[in-house]
Structure 1
Amino acid sequence: MIKAVLFDLDDTLLDINFTAFMTRYVAGLSGLLGDISRTPAPLMGVPFTRGYLAIENRSRSDDLTNHQAFNREFRALTGIPLDDPVIADAINYYDREIVPTLRGGIVAARPQRGGRKTVDTVHELGLTCALATNPAFSEACVEARMGWAGLSPEDFVLVSNWDNAYRLKPNARFYQEFVNALGLTCDECLMVGNDSRRDFPHPDCGLRTIYVGHAWPRRAVWHGPMSRLARELPNVVRRFDGEETNRRDIASL
């Protein structure tokens, strides 16, 4: 039985030029850290890139949160301890006070058509609703982008961020741990996302993905625009619940 629906955020519930957002986000944070460490801001670009590559590395064997792994790599490259209380407070201020102002211009962040309605439909169906965004940012940064989508933390029982996750998408460990935190199993959940690579767990862990992007992934159990999913989600859920009932009936014969 389907008990939960998990949502991606960027380009799923939130219409955004994510590349432009990342450029603006890293540039601002680089300037802040450059001022603190008396290092030219342009020199921060490579450590940021290497830090993100480090937490995305599929050969990782550590048990660090994504945030801890990023900080470790960043310090190894720059000598700057991002977890120092003074530096951490400055970064937290940036994420909470500055990031919410970055939505305009080329970033063009706005609610995805049908996103709010689909989230509301999940609640109307009595299902658990959770936000399984790629956990490469702080809670504050995720909440800022949720606000741009017309959503709030109260819409979700669990929201992923780099302090409560140990891998990035599409690593199956991320999905399994996220679902386990809900007290569920992967086959009891549906994932809704737009990324044909990241929103399908690797390796497969039994989580079925509804695809709302522009491609047509073979693994998708449904594909189409978010605006149509808002109408069709009840039928999708009933389909899988019916399949599960049929399997139980056959097994009992």
Structure 2
Amino acid sequence: MRRNRVKTVLFDLDGTLLPMDQELFVKTYMKELALKGAAVGYDPQELVQIVLAGVEVMVKNDGTMTNEERFWELFMARFGGEMEKHIEVFEKFYQNEFARVANVVNPTRLANQTVQVLRDKGYELVLATNPVFPKVATLERMRWAGLNPKDFSLITTYENCHYTKPNVDYYREILAKIGAKPQECLMVGNDVQEDFSVAKLGVQVFLVTDDLINTAGDDYSQLPQGDRQGLLDYARSLPSVLS
């Protein structure tokens, strides 16, 4: 498959454009959420448990609801009360305390440099980050990474998606939203299982080996790959798609 057929590049965020140790990120995120929850009257341990359970129901989503609807269906069944008040707590958390989690990520200029190289060459860009976060939290993580949301034609969040990684229907939904053919797309990620199930559709892939995740121990030796500097070099080698 010729790489010069690519017109659209899909990027993972966490561990790809935003360097991080995922386990440390989740641990710190849950710690801050528990502190916020305790401060406003939730049982902190129970809040963390239901949020993690909410991720699981989103991962199992069958497409009949958005991920947002799945999450809040579970949350409200446990906590009850006024949904708007619960949502406000989360929004304020992501706008304020969540910023402390930035202390455990390691932003690199290579991320935005890669994005700008591809933008200048005319590629359509999609931020294909696993949509288990609301938009407010995703935009915050993009800010940590030094990325401009305006550079992306689509940013996947729990509000606008009905599936999650590694479900191939998550990628089908993206392609349908942007009107792209699989063979004209490239997926860039650091998780062999979650990011590259898209290859089943005929989408090309590039594995970022920094912060590599390979939970199933799959052989990835034949995949196009490199560290973040290698990704930037690869982007520079791609042809312009400007007409």
Normalising TM by the smaller chain, what interval?
0.7 to 0.9
Is the Cα–Cα contact under 8 Å of residues 186 and 205 in structure 2 kept in the other structure? Answer: yes
Corresponding residue of 1:225: 227
Corresponding residue of 1:148: 144
Aligned residues: 230
TM-score (norm 1): 0.81
Structure 1 moving runs of 4+ over 6 Å? none
Corresponding residue of 1:99: 98
Corresponding residue of 1:197: 193
Comparing 61-70 with 209-218, greater Cα deviation is found at 209-218
Q: CA deviation at 1:237?
A: 5.8
Is the Cα–Cα contact under 8 Å of residues 64 and 166 in structure 1 kept in the other structure? Answer: yes
CA offsets, 1:193-222, max 9 Å, x none?
0001100126811222111124761563x1
Q: CA deviation at 1:236?
A: 5.2
Q: SS where residue 190 of structure 1 aligns? A: strand
- Which aligned pairs between 1:27-176 and structure 2 lie closer than 5 A? 27-36=31-40, 38-57=41-60, 60-76=61-77, 78-80=78-80, 84-104=83-103, 107=104, 109-112=105-108, 114-176=110-172
Is the Cα–Cα contact under 8 Å of residues 62 and 162 in structure 2 kept in the other structure? Answer: no
Q: CA deviation at 1:26?
A: 2.5
CA RMSD of aligned residues (A): 2.4
TM-score (norm 2): 0.85
Unaligned runs of 5+ in 2: none
Q: Which amino acid in the other structure matches residue 163 of structure 2?
A: R
Give the direction of change, closer, same or farther, for the CA distance of 1:114–1:4 in structure 2 (3 Å limit).
Answer: same
- Structure index of larger Rg: 1
CA offsets, 1:110-145, max 9 Å, x none?
323622221111112111011101111011111111
Q: CA deviation at 1:234?
A: 4.6
Q: Distance in 2 between matches of 1:203 and 1:118?
A: 22
Q: Distance in 2 between matches of 1:167 and 1:88?
A: 21
Unaligned runs of 5+ in 1: 242-253
Q: SS where residue 201 of structure 2 aligns? A: coil
Q: Which amino acid in the other structure matches residue 42 of structure 1?
A: Q
CA offsets, 1:151-185, max 9 Å, x none?
12122121111111111111111111112211212
Q: Distance in 2 between matches of 1:7 and 1:24?
A: 24
Q: Which amino acid in the other structure matches residue 93 of structure 1?
A: K
Is the Cα–Cα contact under 8 Å of residues 190 and 209 in structure 1 kept in the other structure? Answer: yes
Q: Distance in 1 between matches of 2:160 and 2:222?
A: 27
Q: SS where residue 204 of structure 1 aligns? A: helix
